[in-house]
Amino acid sequence: MNLTATKEADEVMERHIEDSLAILPPIKTCYNLHSSDLFDHINLIDVGSGAGLPGLVLAIACPDWRVTLLESINKRCVFLEHVVNVTGLTNVKIVRGRAESCGHDVMYREKFDVAIARAVAEMRVLAEYCLPLVRIGGLFVAAKGHDPKEEVQNAENAVRLLGGSILQISPVDSHSPYGQRTTVVCRKDRSTPQKYPREAGTPAKLPL
């Protein structure tokens, strides 16, 4: 279905599966430090899930989590539904839609313990996609490349404007041969102003 550029099974394991699993330790550390809720029963949304990375991988690794895969493209949703049916996963919900719309839907706005995004957009854009979906006290987690410091600095104002603060920038223990990965973790400190997220397409065109 041409969901990733990676074709070989071993390369998929290294580049995508192991990278997805490498996000778990920093999430656990920050969640246990900054939340009174149980880490074992997280309600997580994967924004722009694509081929289910990292959301499907995390759902398999953490069967007690409730995982929502948010994806706007129908072909990818069909693939995700196929994987859920084949694997028999019961803790996964697939939602076809855009983050800008779901961020204003009462079913999803400020309902998740963790919102996560991997290889979707730059931090300023991701913050507007993800933070409106996170409950106060929850986490927004962005999976980034080897050196996102400048990108993160540029996003500090956007994160603050959307009700969050940057908690941690940490290299992750990935066995991928594609270089060091970094996890950026933000905490949701207060409610996101009602005008965010802006209408579809605006966050990417005019980042905060």
pLDDT of residue 14: 62
CA atoms within 13 A on the CB side of 12: 12
Number of domains forming the structure of the chain:
1
Indicate the SS3 state at residue 32. helix
Query: Is 3 a domain residue?
Result: no
Q: Is residue 64 part of a domain?
A: yes
pLDDT in the model for residue 198: 97
Instruction: Examine residue 35 and state whether it is found in any structural domain, yes or no.
Output: yes
- Model confidence over 184-199: pLDDT tens digits? 999 999 999 999 999 9
- CA distance linking residue 35 with residue 18, whole number of Å: 26
Contact (Cβ atoms closer than 8 angstroms) between residue 54 and residue 200: no
Half-sphere exposure of 15 (CA within 13 A, CB side): 12
The pLDDT value given to residue 17: 82
Per-residue confidence (pLDDT) for residue 174, from 0 to 100: 65
Contact by Cβ (8 Å): 83, 108: no
Query: Cα 102 from chain centroid?
Result: 14
Residue 55, number of CB atoms within 10 A of its CB = 29
Q: Does residue 4 form part of some domain?
A: no
Each residue's pLDDT expressed in tens, for the chain with a length of 208 residues = 666 656 666 666 666 788 888 889 999 999 998 887 888 899 999 999 998 999 999 999 999 999 999 999 999 999 999 999 999 999 999 999 999 999 999 999 999 999 999 877 899 999 999 999 999 999 999 998 778 889 999 999 999 999 999 999 988 876 655 567 889 999 999 999 999 999 999 999 999 9
Which CATH number belongs to the domain containing residue 171 in this structure?
3.40.50.150
Range of the domain at 52: 9-205
Residue 164 lies in a domain: yes
Q: Is residue 96 part of a domain?
A: yes
Q: Is residue 40 in some structural domain?
A: yes
Phi-psi region of 165 (alpha: psi -120 to 50; beta: other; left: phi over 0): beta
Would you say 34 and 168 are in contact if contact means Cβ atoms under 8 Å apart?
A: no
Q: Give the pLDDT confidence of 39-79 residue by residue, as tens digits.
A: 889 999 999 999 899 999 999 999 999 999 999 999 999 99
Rounded to the nearest 10°, the torsion over CA 86, 38, 108, 159 is: -120
- Asked whether residue 2 is assigned to any structural domain, the reply reads no
User: Residues 124, 130, 132, CA angle at the centre, nearest 5°?
Assistant: 105
